[in-house]
Amino acid sequence: MNILTHKHLHRRTFLRGLGAVVALPYLDAMEPAGRVFNKFGVSNAAATGKTRLVAIESVHGAAGSNAWGAAKHLWAPEGIGRNFSFSEDSALAPLEPWRKYLTIVSNTDVRMAEAFEAPEVGGDHFRSSAVFLTQSHPKQTQGSDLYVGTSFDQIVARHISADTPIPSMQLCIENLDQAGGCYYNYACAYTDTISWASPSEPLPMIRNPRTAFDLLFGAGSNNADRAARRKENSSILDWIVGEMTTLRRDLGAADQRRVDQYLENVRELERRIQSVEAKNASGEERALPEAPAGVPDSFTEHMQLMFDIQVLAFQSDMTRVFSFKTGRDASSRVYPESGTNKGFHPASHHGGRESAILEFNLINKFHVSLLPYFLDRLKNTADGDGNLLDSTLIMYGSPMADGNLHNHRRCPLILLGGGNGMLAGDAHIKAPDGTPMADVMLSLLHKFGVPDVHSFGDSVAPFALYT
């Protein structure tokens, strides 16, 4: 890399060394000479800012989608528009401080996840995830003749990520290493991913933060290099120290601070991953004995690592699209921090009993309570003249509604972030009965500027989102 003093840096400037490839965040030095401001006083960097997408699946519905739970407003609030408040037990209550960035879209259906024919009855667990981002009905098969639809995230990625090193990344939390067929004659591929490059091409999801980190930062050209570095407990930043010195010499003071903070965040994330690996390799009994060494036993820690990976990927513009599968429908995982020690799947089958519905709601609320960590990280990360939260759209929802009944009517869905002006936030929009969730995704495709998309899944018409 040749960096010349007072010369314009290319946006795709990388620090390289012994297999490590570290992309830089956006710097003032990357602004073209003679930076100009438009008539509104907005810099070119802000005016042409890139929009990011994060699509997060929360499996198996919510307690607030049960008839009694809906009446108690355990998910969607009672008020409509901006005149809403959260009930004390609302699963969305942790987002109250972030309502400026919150749009709740309630009362939409995911009918493509329902059984169409008798042999499909009972297969909701093994069909739903495939429907979430495709809004299409999966072909029932245990063979290689998979067929569902191209997913929303991949359509967006093709439009906004063509110039990024990684078009999109797919992350997950639960074990998805099941090959072949699952149950009810569905291939496990349908439940192992939410991203589909084409109707017959499921994309693998990354569970191990170490794997995602190495992909993002090119940490070693092969497995041997990576193994050697880990054995020495060294950092990828040790491999690029010479390039860092050269770079800092040719940057202004503000850019130096920005680079130093960014590299410190990279190092801190790497240190946390190394700490997890060391603990899990110590011989201590693990809560998740089947998980790779880089996967924390703590759900909260795992989620936060994955959120931090996404922030750094956006900051360095390595990719602009993530899909994130946070659970598995039939998982019996326990979340002690939620306030209940009941397993997730057993808790979802509450039998309509009020006390049991509230117990499942504790898990829903705990899951939502992890989102503010991500929102805070995005908001406190500069993006040109703004921040990443303002330029990111986060879609968080489920293809199932009432997990007790396995129905798909009135499914949970919220939108977060600014999306570069796509959403005004601080709104609860209740859809008319029978509205497909696909209508919302069709509208978002239009907001992302995807051309010539007139339908998506079982959409009827674009959904009117407040702007």
For the chain, where do the domains classified as CATH 3.40.720 start and end? 52-207+320-467
The pLDDT of 146-155, averaged and rounded, is 98
pLDDT digits (tens, 9 = 90+) for 356-410: 999 999 999 999 999 999 999 999 999 988 999 999 999 999 999 999 999 999 9
**If 0-12 CB within 10 Å is exposed, 13-18 middle and 19+ buried, where does residue 409 land?**
middle
Output the pLDDT for position 304.
Answer: 98
Model confidence at 36: pLDDT above 50:
no
pLDDT tens, position by position, 306-342? 999 999 999 999 999 999 999 998 899 999 999 999 9
Higher pLDDT, 228 or 45: 228
The CATH-assigned architecture of domain 52-207+320-467 is: 3-Layer(aba) Sandwich (3.40)
d(Cα 303, Cα 276) in Å, to the nearest integer? Answer: 13
| More reliable by pLDDT, 299 or 262 | 299
Residue 467's nearest CA partner among 426, 423, 434 is: 423
Contact (CB, 8 A) for 175 and 290: yes
Phi, psi of 104 (to 5 degrees): -95, 125
Contacts of 460 by beta carbon, 8 Å cutoff, 6+ apart: 435, 436, 439
DSSP code string of 143-175: SS-------HHHHHHHHH-TTSSSS-EEEESS-
Of 118-132, 215-229, 268-282, 421-435, which range is least confident? 215-229
Distance CA 450, CA 160 (A): 9
Whether the Cβ atoms of residue 398 and residue 61 lie closer than 8 Å to each other? yes
pLDDT of residue 3: 39
> Which pLDDT tens digit goes with each residue over 76-95?
999 999 989 999 999 999 99
